[in-house]
Chains A and B, each alone.
Chain A
Amino acid sequence: GQNIDQPTEMTATEGAIVQINCTYQTSGFNGLFWYQQHAGEAPTFLSYNVLDGLEEKGRFSSFLSRSKGYSYLLLKELQMKDSASYLCAVQDSNYQLIWGAGTKLIIKP
């Protein structure tokens, strides 16, 4: 079957760094997406990885290891506005997105 695992909830301190992990088992792989979703709002695109390695985009970076079925999202210099859920999604062989349940990130002052 297809499975995406990520922690349910994480807590971090304003100004710190947090790493959100995602492991996956899917039928085929055409890339991995990270989305951010604030409470009561729609998901918005953060990053995309298809090759192994680190993609950096400002305070956010995303890493992929295809051989390990593993990705992480790294958030630096945390701000209160980063409090949100972070969704990991894998694009399978049919180009459909398979979604994890999301990680709720709580930022404390």
Chain B
Amino acid sequence: IAGITQAPTSQILAAGRRMTLRCTQDMRHNAMYWYRQDLGLGLRLIHYSNTAGTTGKGEVPDGYSVSRANTDDFPLTLASAVPSQTSVYFCASSPIAGAQETQYFGPGTRLLVL
């Protein structure tokens, strides 16, 4: 593989269920990000990781958690899904977390919470 992969592609989830969105990159990028994209709004940062073993909160972290056990993987967990978490979720990565660093995006996961 080359780039970033996300799984699943799409999911319908009952409210209250736990769900983990997977993200894997093979570019050896240090920094990784999770965004959600909703109609009429810009991409909003949920959580980020500047390097393996560290994570940070973005603009909209409530209801989500992340881990970064190694360089390649950055899973996003919804502990107890709610309908307002219906969105398209994008994982992204950049070589480092710094100025001028371009972010590269995965194909996205479309999540519907009922």
Contact = CB atoms under 8 A, between A and B. Distances in A.
Interface centre among B58, B90, B102 (most CB of A within 10 A): B102
Contacts of B41: 101
Given A42-B90, A43-B90, A87-B43, A97 B103 contact: yes
Interface stretch (B16-24, B67-75, B78-86, B104-112): B104-112
Interface string A7-41: 01000000000000000000000110100000001
Nearest to B41: A101
Interface centre among A48, A89, A101 (most CB of B within 10 A): A101
Contact of A44 (B43, B44, B101, B105): B105
Interface of B: 40-45, 48, 58, 90, 97-108
Interface of A: 4, 8, 30-31, 33, 41-45, 48, 50, 87, 89, 91, 95-102
